[in-house]
Amino acid sequence: MVASKRPMSTSPPETPERRGIPIPSVSSSPTASTGQSIAESLVGSFATNASSSVTAQTDKERERTLYPGRVNLTTYPDQHGIKPHQMVWGAPDAATRGAIICSRLPGSIKVRNALGAHSGSYSIYRALSIAMGSLSPSHKPDYNMTDPPIEIPFSTQWKNVVSFDPWGHLVPSVFRSDLDAGLDARPSIAITRAHIKLSEIDESHRRGDIVVDGTVVHKSRPLKDENGNEVDYDPGVEISVGKAAIEPVWYLPGVAERFQISESLLRRALFEETGGMYPELITRPDIKVFLPPIGGQTVYIFGPQEYLQDETKTLTLRVHDECNGSDVFGSDICTCKPYLIYAIEECIRTAQKGGVGVVVYFRKEGRALGEVTKYLVYNLRKRGGDSADRYFKSTEMIAGVKDMRFQALMPDTLHWLGVKKIDNMVSMSDMKYDAIVGSGIPILKRYDLPEHLIPPDSRVEIDAKIAAGYFSSTKTITEADLVKTVGRTWEETEH
């Protein structure tokens, strides 16, 4: 047998019970005898095992404890007991809108009004934690003292939002009665305050480009050596921001309309192209909300958040799509990090002049094609001749499309914030500009990345984008010009 050829381990695998992680015990479950709900019995068994010796269970026993019923692959609208919790998307008040319920726990499964799971792609890690016994599936979060420290108040523009729940940051307060009734409603937005520190901003401060004002920009505490003694070196600066993490929550009719396709086609594509992960996209047309397993976004606010809705205040915006290689590790093949840092500096300056700055950071790595595809394209470019005329063609050869970010949903964030006009947009993207203006928010000024901030090897990218229609205030590039822009070869990087 093939299995017998595998090398034998010298020690047994480290299962949760060997690590001392509480596993719900079948024998301790009182469900059958007392009529308690499955969720209550799981909580009890977790508590019992946490305070007593953990009895070993086979995986099959653990599975029967966690999921005692038969496997429900799907449900249908006319099944007995199915009655989705009231939810009116776009309603002007929380009571009419209703909480979003997607949990498959026994107390919620028949009243669900949403498909998918909270936390986007991180829902997979939650499933692993439950399977390994480190997390109870019926754990109830304690939301005391988690309310937002800054206010994003209701705006009539919330009716325009279809890609996330505009009430998501207010769930523990506005849907308190639902939580008290045992429904598993959860926040899909969290807002907090923070100081951010970036070495590039430190350098800008040392050059005199960014000044300390004690409100937006603060001097960092003195640096210390390994012995705890202060060192004679400029510690740089820190920036006060408000920030919000937003998880995706799709209102399917609105998303379909935004992309100008039918809801049925959208549902079928989501079902088929995720390997059939969500059959209820097909069998439950009555459920209109879907929490997709994708990355979310983070909003950074520079200056008073109340200025976001004040049209008399200057607002500077950068909408940035994730680029791990550049944003975090400083790769010079693209302009992502220089543009992000430049935008942060412009947001700081705007806030210090009495306005407000906003950076929206989307998890759309590699134009939403992913990092694997991005690196394959890099290989093709460097081996096939890295010229600007082949920039988009190289991506299309690998991915079949040059960009999958499709910015139609992006303006939702601005409508949630209550933004009514943008004075300064730090972006060259024609797709982002068109999406924002098309959603009813005017943009008064656009400006591109200053020439001296463009890394040499990213000239291929920037010239190709300008020729394709990206904004530039200083440069016009034709298709004929693109062959003249050539990137660095791999050999030139081997020092």
Indicate the Cα dihedral angle 163, 370, 123, 97, nearest 10°.
0
**Distance set, CA 55 to CA 13, 28, 64, 133, 323 (Å):** 17, 10, 15, 12, 47
The three-class DSSP label of residue 276 is coil
Single out the catalytic residue among 321, 386, 403, 412: 403
470-494: b (≥16 Cβ within 10 Å) or e: bbbeeeebeeeebeebebbeeeeee
Indicate the Cα dihedral angle 141, 144, 150, 156, nearest 10°.
70
Q: Which of 188, 361, 369, 201 is nearest to 291 (CA)?
A: 188
Q: Is 368 left (phi over 0), alpha (psi -120 to 50) or beta?
A: left
Q: Which of 302, 324, 293, 338 is nearest to 452 (CA)?
A: 338
User: Is 70 among the residues known to form the active site?
Assistant: no
Find the distance separating the first CA and the last CA of the chain, reported in whole Å: 50
User: Is 178 among the residues known to form the active site?
Assistant: no
Largest Cα–Cα distance in the chain?
80
Q: Which amino acid is at 381?
A: R
Q: Which of 463, 464, 411 is nearest to 437 (CA)?
A: 411
**Distance set, CA 387 to CA 375, 377, 484 (Å):** 17, 13, 7
**Distance set, CA 331 to CA 45, 336, 348, 489 (Å):** 50, 9, 25, 14
Residue 105 makes CB contacts below 8 A (sequence gap 6+) with: 38, 39, 137, 138, 184
φ/ψ of residue 310, rounded to 5? -100, 110
**Distance set, CA 211 to CA 52, 201, 310 (Å):** 59, 10, 25
- Please give the helix or strand (H or E) that residue 116 lies within, else none: strand 114-116
Q: DSSP letter for 387, please.
A: B
Q: DSSP letter for 134, please.
A: S
Single out the catalytic residue among 386, 405, 448, 463: 405
The three-class DSSP label of residue 88 is coil
**Taking a C-beta distance cutoff of 8 angstroms, is the pair 445, 352 a contact?**
no
Q: How far apart are CA 169 and CA 94, in angstroms?
A: 12
**Taking a C-beta distance cutoff of 8 angstroms, is the pair 165, 189 a contact?**
yes
Which amino acids are annotated catalytic? Answer: 403, 405
